[in-house]
Amino acid sequence: MPLAPARPQTFWSRHKRSLTPWLFLAPGLVMFLLYVLIPIVQSVWISFHDWDGLGEKVWIGIENYVELLDDDTFYVSLKNNVLWLLLYLLAIPGGLAVALFLNQTVFGIRLYKSLFFFPFVISQVVVGLMFTWFYAPDFGLFSALIEWLTGEQVAILADERFVTYGIIVAGLWPQTAYCMILYLTGLNNINPEQVEAARMDGAKGLKLLWHVILPQLAPASFIALVVTVIGSLRSFDLVSIMTAGGPYGSSQVLSYFMYEQALSEYGFRMGYGAAIAVVLFLIMMVFITVFIVRMLSQERNG
Partner 1 sequence: MFPTPIQKSAPWVRIGYKLLLPVALIAWLLPLIGVAITSVRPAGDLAAGNYFGIPSGFAGVENYSAVFANSPIGWYILNSFKVTIPTVIGAVALSCLTGFALAVYNFRANLLLFFMFVAGNFIPFQILMVPVRDMTLKAGLYDTTIGLVLFHVAFQTGFCTLFMRNFIKGLPFALIEAARVEGVSEWKIFSRIVLPLMRPAIAALSVLVFTFIWNDYFWATVLVQGQHAMPVTAGLYSLNGQWVAAWHLVSAGSIIAALPPVLMFFLMQRHFIAGLTLGATKG
- Which residues within the stretch 201-220 sit at the binding site for partner 1 (CB under 8 A)? 204, 208-209, 212-213, 218-220
> Which residues, other chains included, contact 201 with Cβ-Cβ below 8 Å and sequence gap of 6+?
none
- Choosing from 9, 42, 153, 264, the residue that interacts with partner 1 (CB under 8 A) is 42
- Using CB under 8 A as the binding rule, whether residue 295 contacts partner 1 is answered as yes
**Helices 163-188 & 109-121, crossing angle to 10 degrees?**
140
C-alpha 136/C-alpha 155 separation (Å) is 7
Identify residues 251-270 at the interface with partner 1 (CB under 8 A): 254-255, 258-259, 262-263, 270
Least Å distance, CB 189 to partner 1, is 5
Which x/- pattern over 141-160 shows residues binding partner 1 (rule: CB under 8 A)?
Answer: x--x----------------
Which 8-state DSSP code applies to residue 55?
Answer: S
- Residue number with CB closer to partner 1 (162 or 281): 281
Size of the site for partner 1 (CB under 8 A): 109
What is the gyration radius of the CA atoms in the chain, in angstroms?
25
- Choosing from 8, 234, 248, 264, the residue that interacts with partner 1 (CB under 8 A) is 234
Tell me the β-bridge partners of 59.
Answer: 49
- Using CB under 8 A as the binding rule, whether residue 277 contacts partner 1 is answered as yes
Output the CA–CA distances (angstroms, integers) from residue 97 to 57, 158, 196, 213, in the order listed: 53, 32, 21, 13
Least Å distance, CB 97 to partner 1, is 11
> Which residues, other chains included, contact 91 with Cβ-Cβ below 8 Å and sequence gap of 6+?
172, 175, 176, 178, 179, 224, 228
Least Å distance, CB 267 to partner 1, is 14
Least Å distance, CB 270 to partner 1, is 5
- Choosing from 68, 146, 168, 181, the residue that interacts with partner 1 (CB under 8 A) is 181
CA angle 47, 48, 51 (to 5 degrees): 70
- Using CB under 8 A as the binding rule, whether residue 242 contacts partner 1 is answered as no
C-alpha 128/C-alpha 92 separation (Å) is 21
Contact indicator for 251, 44 with CB cutoff of 8 Å: no
Which of 190, 191, 199, 195 lies closest to 220, judged by CA? 190
Contact indicator for 160, 236 with CB cutoff of 8 Å: no
- Using CB under 8 A as the binding rule, whether residue 36 contacts partner 1 is answered as yes
The stretch near partner 1 (CB under 8 A) out of 6-14, 67-75, 153-161, 281-289 is 281-289
Which 8-state DSSP code applies to residue 161?
Answer: T
In this structure, what are the phi and psi dihedrals at residue 131, rounded to the nearest 5 degrees?
Answer: -70, -35
Least Å distance, CB 160 to partner 1, is 23
- Choosing from 124, 164, 228, 232, the residue that interacts with partner 1 (CB under 8 A) is 124
- Choosing from 24, 75, 210, 248, the residue that interacts with partner 1 (CB under 8 A) is 24
The stretch near partner 1 (CB under 8 A) out of 2-10, 60-68, 88-96, 134-142 is 134-142
With H, G, I as helix, E, B as strand and everything else as coil, classify residue 58. Answer: strand
Identity of residue 164: T
Identify residues 60-119 at the interface with partner 1 (CB under 8 A): 100-101, 103-106, 109, 112, 114-119
- Choosing from 68, 76, 96, 127, the residue that interacts with partner 1 (CB under 8 A) is 127
C-alpha 47/C-alpha 272 separation (Å) is 6
- Using CB under 8 A as the binding rule, whether residue 248 contacts partner 1 is answered as no
